Amino acid sequence: MLTGNLVRVRFNKFRIIPMYLHRESQEWLEVAESLLEIFRSSEGMTRGELDAAAADLFGSGQATLTHRGLARVLEDRSEFEMVSDVDPEVLRERLFGAAALYRTAIARKRAQGNPSEAIKGFDREGILNAIANDLELNPQQVESSLFADLKEENRILKFEDISAQRLIDRYNVALAQSVLIRAVRLNVEIRRESPSRLRRIFQMLKFHRLLFMAQGELTDGLNLSIEGPLSMFQSTTKYGMQMANWLPNLLNCRDFRLDAELNWGAKKELRTFHLESSDGLVSHLSDSGGYEPPEFEAFVHRFRQLAPTWSIDKPESIFRGTRQGGASVVWMPDYILTHLATGREVHLEILGFWRHATLKQNLETVPKMTNAKPLWAVSDKMKVDDDKAGKLISERIVTYRDIPSATDILVAAERMVREQP
């Protein structure tokens, strides 16, 4: 993503409009290719040298905002390391300590009226040589290691290449993500998508620990309301970062609209951001496969150890129902637990961040969905609203702290299977 000082936007009343680059622009394709040539031959260069090379290419003293933004995208595709023969912090402590002692000694001799010390200057080279001898290094090694831990002194190890057009695509997505970091709430409409694509969208919402509610019909389109803890903790962008990281998954959809509420600027002023499929942003993420949080993987591994008479699989269907008031809603569990002897199922959803009201609505609605046998594993550390509404108690809820308890979930699942007709 781009840092705040590289975000290029314009304003239309309360709306934030990112200044995307045209992915077919010959001018920007040439700029992208020029930057790529710098990074392709950059092995061993420092960040500072990379910045200087870009500045020499695109401007006097400093590259333009867009050029620096493109370069930042390429830096994110690079691996850097600190190169030093000695710990820079230790070296600075030794060197500055020796310099202070040297200055003190000169001042003392001058105070004693020693005329030869009155004209004696600071012996920088002598101190460097003394420290180098002490550390069994040469003075050049000492000098190069002195500030090697500064970011601009890190040296590039390798660079993951990319085409010029893909660089522009990645820049545009990074620009939109950098706006979404300020988001406190998203409303997303997804139309004309297959159930498999929607399952992927749901999975990645959960992977990024986003609170969401899904309404609508698969045939007509789904509406997602995505919000979370940031609305309660205005000084942090941590949850907005999760929304931004999820965005590339949405970009793989063929027809969508996204509207975001933002806290913009130092004063956290209310602003809005709109994005839709016709804007032409191209995701850099593959549309296949997926990731799981490590605690989910740990749970699955433990469950399979404990329950050889059960299978645990990803869901192949989305459950549909109706909330009070007639609104159509959908629900998708994280896992299908199947009792092998009877073929009976339990549908498990694991919740990280959660709200009392949302979980209560699910408890009332999901069990009424056709063929749904829901069980929730709920973190007792990640409830984001207060306790005024009271604690939810249900046989369909199993609580956990860090990793869902395979033992507790197995006990609950076996009870649910016994109670099924």
Q: What is the number of structural domains in the chain?
A: 3
- Domain boundary (240, 259, 287) is at 287
| Same domain membership, residue 93 and residue 185 | no
In a domain, 283, yes or no: yes
Which residue type is seen at 365?
A: T
| Same domain membership, residue 301 and residue 248 | no
| Same domain membership, residue 309 and residue 197 | no
| Same domain membership, residue 393 and residue 331 | yes
Q: Rounded to whole angstroms, how far apart are CA atoms 407 and 348? A: 14
| Same domain membership, residue 411 and residue 303 | yes
| Same domain membership, residue 407 and residue 357 | yes
| Same domain membership, residue 400 and residue 343 | yes
Exposure string for 268-304, b = 16+ CB within 10 A, e = fewer: eeebebebebeeebebeeeeeeeeeeeebeebbebbe
Give per-residue pLDDT as tens, 173-212: 999 999 999 998 899 999 988 777 887 888 888 778 787 8
Q: What is the pLDDT of residue 128?
A: 75
Q: Which domain, by its residues, includes 132?
A: 88-145
| Same domain membership, residue 335 and residue 256 | no
Residue with tokens 């994280």: 334
Q: What is the pLDDT of residue 167?
A: 96
- Overall average pLDDT of the 280-298 stretch: 78
Model confidence band, residue 146 (pLDDT cutoffs 50, 70, 90): low
Q: Which has the closest alpha carbon to 167: 23, 311, 287?
A: 23
Give per-residue pLDDT as tens, 228-281: 544 444 445 677 888 899 999 999 999 999 999 998 988 888 999 999 999 999
